[in-house]
A and B are shown apart, each in its own frame.
Chain A
Amino acid sequence: DIQMTQSPSTLSASVGDRVTITCRASQSVSDWLAWYHQKPGKAPKLLISKASKLESGVPSRFSGSGSGTEFTLTIDSLQPDDFATYYCQQYDSFSVTFGQGTKVELK
């Protein structure tokens, strides 16, 4: 299986900050990468697919970039609703895999 590694594991930030989360794949996944965020006790919510395609209804402060093995999720001007755990997911291989998560917490 393709391993997905996110960094950092935890990120402390303030409202209004620009934050960046990195996701690395153990082998190339082209641009078959999705990003989700998850609040405690809730299901993951899809933010971005195909590395950079913003899903309908997702605020434009979210953006994704990258291809191959290295990807980033950027949140411009962090809002109170954005404090959550973020996961990347590759779907290049038959067996899709997720990263271990990055928790964005209030500084």
Chain B
Amino acid sequence: EVQVVESGGGLTQPGGSLKLSCIVSGLTFSGSYMSWVRQAPGKGPEWVSVIYRSGNAYYADSVKGRFTISRDNSKNTLYLQMNSLRADDTAVYYCARATGTGPLYFFDYWGQGTLVTVSS
């Protein structure tokens, strides 16, 4: 059974930082593209970042320069370092496996999400 478990969310002030973690089991983590997808209250999901097997990483324009995705294949763990947080970063953040054809991917396994709230 595939399990995806996020942690690290919480309340932080504008300009603050948080680091999310995601532990994956039941699939070949090192062979998978992994992604962060967020969902603001009452909105549709929004792709945030993806990291390839190679370690190459890509970001949505809205977070580029502020967020950093990384992975530790020895621990089957995905990370998202979030700096310079803004109120509009408030959302549930999901860790998801990205699968598909080359760089064209959808998301087949998702975690339960971790809530990030940015407010003074």
| CB of A44 closer than 8 Å to a CB of B | yes
Identify 19 new A-B residue pairs, CB closer than 8 A, beyond the known A43-B94, A91-B100, A100-B44.
Answer: A32-B100, A34-B107, A43-B110, A43-B111, A43-B112, A44-B94, A44-B107, A44-B110, A46-B108, A49-B108, A55-B108, A87-B44, A89-B106, A91-B104, A92-B104, A94-B103, A96-B47, A98-B44, A99-B44
| CB of A101 closer than 8 Å to a CB of B | yes
Counting residue pairs across A and B whose Cβ atoms lie within 8 Å, the total is 51
| Chain A neighbourhood of B47, CB < 8 A | 95-98
Interface size class of B (residues with CB under 8 A): 20 to 34
| Chain B neighbourhood of A98, CB < 8 A | 44-47
Binary CB contact string for chain A from 13 to 51 against chain B (1 if under 8 A, 0 otherwise): 000000000000000000010101000001111100100
Question: Which listed residue, B60, B94, B111, touches A95 by the CB 8 Å rule?
Answer: B60
Judge whether A46 and B113 touch: CB under 8 Å.
Answer: no
The majority secondary structure among interface residues of chain A is loop
The majority secondary structure among interface residues of chain B is strand
Judge whether A91 and B44 touch: CB under 8 Å.
Answer: no
Chain B residue with Cβ nearest A89? B106
How far does the Cβ of B52 sit from chain A's closest Cβ, in whole Å? 12
| Chain B neighbourhood of A55, CB < 8 A | 108
